[in-house]
Amino acid sequence: MTDGSGDSYLSQLADEMEAVQLSAGESVLGHAAEMLSDHKAEAWELRFLGHRLCEALRDALRVAESRGGRLYAPADGSDDEPDGSPPPAGRSS
């Protein structure tokens, strides 16, 4: 739990970790494009790539969920959306 200002040590640490995860995902995606264009890639290499892509996607989804939660978190602690609308799909209030 952070103080809500975005300036806390925990907030900064989370932002840094998210940046590392997204950067790693970009790197894996670049390798994937290269490997998939190489028609000589072995099956084990493609399976390894598939596992790394799954990890990168899992991290990216975790970052998106975390950032989305911060965007929609009411400042007053209530469960209502800021504009009174229902929460986005996949998110319960």
pLDDT tens string 18-68: 899 999 999 999 999 999 998 999 999 999 999 999 999 999 999 888 877
Tell me the whole-structure pTM to 2 decimals.
Answer: 0.60
| pLDDT > 90? residue 6 | no
For 56, other C-beta atoms within 10 Å of its C-beta total: 19
Which long-range contacts link 25-29 to residues 24+ away (Cβ below 8 Å)? 25/56, 25/57, 25/59, 25/60, 28/52, 28/53, 28/55, 28/56, 29/53, 29/56
Is the model's pLDDT at 5 over the cut of 90? no
